[in-house]
A and B are shown apart, each in its own frame.
Chain A
Amino acid sequence: MSAAAEARRAETARPASTIAVRMAGVRKAFGERIALDGADLTVVWGEVHALLGENGAGKSSLMNILAGFYGADDGVVEVAGQPAAFAEPRAASAAGIGMIHQHFKLVGPLTVLENLRLACGPRAGWRSRDAALVAMAGMAKDLGFTIKPDARVDQLSVSEQQKVEILKVLLGGARILIMDEPTAVLAESEAAAMLQLARRLADDGRAVILITHKLRDVSATADRVTVMRAGRTVIAGAPARDVTSAELARAMVGGETDILRRGTAGPGETVALELRALSTAGAEHDVPLREISLTLHSGEILGIAGLGGNGQSELLEAIIGLRTPTHGDILLHGEPASAFPAARREHGLRFVPADRFRLGLFGSLTLAENLAVPALSGRQPERRYWVTRAWMRGRARRSISDYEIAGGTADTQARLLSGGNAQKLILAREFEGAFSVLVVHSPARGLDVRAAAAVQNRLLAAAARGVGVLMISEDLDEVLALSSRVAVLSHGRLSAAVAIEQTDRAELGRLILEGA
Chain B
Amino acid sequence: MNGFLADWAGAVPVFAAPFLLATTGLIINERAGVMNLGAEGIMAMGAVSAVIAMLSGSGLVAAILCACAAAVAITLLFALLAVVLRLEQVLSGLVIFAFGVGLSGVLGDSYANQPIKALGPVAPRIFAGLPHWLGRILDQDPLTYFAFVLPVLVWWVLERTELGLRLRAVGEDAPAADAAGVNVMRMRIGAVLSGGLVLGLAGAHLSLVGSQVWVNGMVSGRGWIAVALVTFSRWNTLRAIGAALLFGAVQAVIPLILSSGLNVPIYLIQMLPYVATIVVLGASGIGRTSLSAQPEDLARPFLREERR
A-side residues, CB < 8 A to B, are 30, 69-71, 88-90, 93, 99, 101, 104-110, 114-115, 117-119, 121-123, 168, 283-284, 363, 415-416
Q: Which of A30, A107, A123, A416 contacts B176 (CB 8 A)?
A: A107
Contacts A118-B169, A283-B290; is A89 near B162 (CB within 8 Å)? no
Nearest-neighbour CB distance to chain A for B231, whole angstroms, equals: 17
Question: Considering residues B173, B175, B179, B304, which has the most beta carbons from chain A within 10 angstroms of its beta carbon?
Answer: B179
Nearest-neighbour CB distance to chain A for B72, whole angstroms, equals: 27
List B residues 157-174 near A (Cβ within 8 Å): 162, 165-166, 168-169, 172-173
Q: Which residues of A contact B175 (CB under 8 A)?
A: 105
A99–B179 CA distance with the chains assembled, in angstroms: 9
Q: Which residues of B contact A115 (CB under 8 A)?
A: 180
Are B290 and A114 touching (Cβ within 8 A)? no
Nearest-neighbour CB distance to chain A for B166, whole angstroms, equals: 6
Contacts A70-B305, A89-B178, A90-B183; is A121 near B162 (CB within 8 Å)? yes
Are B180 and A416 touching (Cβ within 8 A)? no
A106–B165 CA distance with the chains assembled, in angstroms: 13
Are A114 and B304 touching (Cβ within 8 A)? no
Are A108 and B172 touching (Cβ within 8 A)? yes
Q: Which residues of B contact A123 (CB under 8 A)?
A: 181
A70–B179 CA distance with the chains assembled, in angstroms: 12
Query: B288 interface residue, CB < 8 Å from A?
Result: no
Q: Which residues of A contact B180 (CB under 8 A)?
A: 89, 105, 107, 115, 118-119, 168
Are B177 and A107 touching (Cβ within 8 A)? yes
Are A118 and B305 touching (Cβ within 8 A)? no
Are B165 and A118 touching (Cβ within 8 A)? yes
Query: B73 interface residue, CB < 8 Å from A?
Result: no
Query: B296 interface residue, CB < 8 Å from A?
Result: yes
Nearest-neighbour CB distance to chain B for A120, whole angstroms, equals: 8
Nearest-neighbour CB distance to chain B for A493, whole angstroms, equals: 25
Q: Which residues of A contact B305 (CB under 8 A)?
A: 30, 69-71
Query: B6 interface residue, CB < 8 Å from A?
Result: no
Query: B125 interface residue, CB < 8 Å from A?
Result: no
A123–B180 CA distance with the chains assembled, in angstroms: 11
A122–B181 CA distance with the chains assembled, in angstroms: 10
Are B165 and A69 touching (Cβ within 8 A)? no
Nearest-neighbour CB distance to chain A for B178, whole angstroms, equals: 6
Q: Which of A90, A99, A117, A415 contacts B165 (CB 8 A)?
A: A117
Are A108 and B290 touching (Cβ within 8 A)? no
Nearest-neighbour CB distance to chain B for A109, whole angstroms, equals: 5
Q: Which residues of B contact A69 (CB under 8 A)?
A: 179, 304-305
Q: Which residues of A contact B173 (CB under 8 A)?
A: 105-108
Are A415 and B172 touching (Cβ within 8 A)? no
Query: B182 interface residue, CB < 8 Å from A?
Result: yes
Are B172 and A101 touching (Cβ within 8 A)? no
Q: Which of B168, B296, B307 contacts A415 (CB 8 A)?
A: B307
Number of interface residues of B (CB under 8 A): 22
Nearest-neighbour CB distance to chain B for A255, whole angstroms, equals: 30
Nearest-neighbour CB distance to chain A for B149, whole angstroms, equals: 25
Q: Which of B165, B168, B179, B307 contacts A89 (CB 8 A)?
A: B179
Chain A residue nearest to B175 (CB atoms) is A105
Are B308 and A415 touching (Cβ within 8 A)? yes
Q: Which residues of B contact A363 (CB under 8 A)?
A: 308
Question: Considering residues B175, B176, B183, B307, which has the most beta carbons from chain A within 10 angstroms of its beta carbon?
Answer: B176
A103–B182 CA distance with the chains assembled, in angstroms: 19
Q: Which residues of A contact B165 (CB under 8 A)?
A: 110, 114, 117-118
Are B176 and A105 touching (Cβ within 8 A)? yes
Are A119 and B172 touching (Cβ within 8 A)? no
Q: Which residues of B contact A70 (CB under 8 A)?
A: 304-305
A30–B303 CA distance with the chains assembled, in angstroms: 13
A295–B166 CA distance with the chains assembled, in angstroms: 52
28 interchain pairs, CB-CB under 8 A = A70-B304, A70-B305, A71-B305, A89-B178, A89-B181, A93-B181, A99-B179, A104-B176, A105-B178, A105-B179, A107-B168, A107-B172, A107-B176, A108-B172, A108-B173, A109-B168, A109-B296, A110-B165, A110-B168, A110-B169, A117-B162, A117-B165, A118-B177, A118-B182, A168-B180, A283-B290, A415-B307, A415-B308
Nearest-neighbour CB distance to chain A for B57, whole angstroms, equals: 47
Are A119 and B307 touching (Cβ within 8 A)? no
Q: Which of B162, B172, B178, B307 contacts A416 (CB 8 A)?
A: B307
A90–B304 CA distance with the chains assembled, in angstroms: 12
Are A119 and B304 touching (Cβ within 8 A)? no
Nearest-neighbour CB distance to chain A for B27, whole angstroms, equals: 15
A88–B182 CA distance with the chains assembled, in angstroms: 10
**Contact mask B273-308 → A, CB, 8 Å, 1/0?**
000000000000000001000001000000011011
A59–B122 CA distance with the chains assembled, in angstroms: 67
Chain B residue nearest to A61 (CB atoms) is B305
Instruction: With A99-B179, A114-B169 given, name 19 new contacts (CB 8 A).
Output: A30-B305, A69-B179, A69-B305, A89-B178, A89-B180, A93-B181, A101-B179, A105-B176, A105-B179, A105-B180, A108-B172, A108-B296, A110-B165, A110-B169, A110-B172, A117-B162, A284-B290, A363-B308, A415-B307
Q: Which residues of B contact A119 (CB under 8 A)?
A: 179-181
Nearest-neighbour CB distance to chain A for B12, whole angstroms, equals: 34
Question: Considering residues A90, A114, A283, A415, which has the most beta carbons from chain B within 10 angstroms of its beta carbon?
Answer: A90
A54–B108 CA distance with the chains assembled, in angstroms: 65
Q: Which residues of A contact B178 (CB under 8 A)?
A: 88-89, 105
**Contact mask B34-47 → A, CB, 8 Å, 1/0?**
00000000000000
Are A107 and B169 touching (Cβ within 8 A)? yes
Nearest-neighbour CB distance to chain B for A156, whole angstroms, equals: 14
A50–B89 CA distance with the chains assembled, in angstroms: 43
Enumerate the 6 nearest inter-chain pairs by beta-carbon distance, A residue then B residue, closest first: A119-B180, A105-B179, A90-B181, A105-B176, A107-B173, A118-B180
Chain A residue nearest to B177 (CB atoms) is A107
A70–B303 CA distance with the chains assembled, in angstroms: 11
Q: Which residues of B contact A109 (CB under 8 A)?
A: 168, 172, 296
List B residues 84-111 near A (Cβ within 8 Å): none
A107–B296 CA distance with the chains assembled, in angstroms: 10
Chain A residue nearest to B176 (CB atoms) is A105
Q: Which residues of A contact B182 (CB under 8 A)?
A: 90, 118
Nearest-neighbour CB distance to chain B for A419, whole angstroms, equals: 12
A168–B278 CA distance with the chains assembled, in angstroms: 44
Q: Which residues of A contact B172 (CB under 8 A)?
A: 107-110
Nearest-neighbour CB distance to chain A for B86, whole angstroms, equals: 15
A106–B183 CA distance with the chains assembled, in angstroms: 16
Question: Considering residues A70, A90, A109, which has the most beta carbons from chain B within 10 angstroms of its beta carbon?
Answer: A109
Chain A residue nearest to B181 (CB atoms) is A90
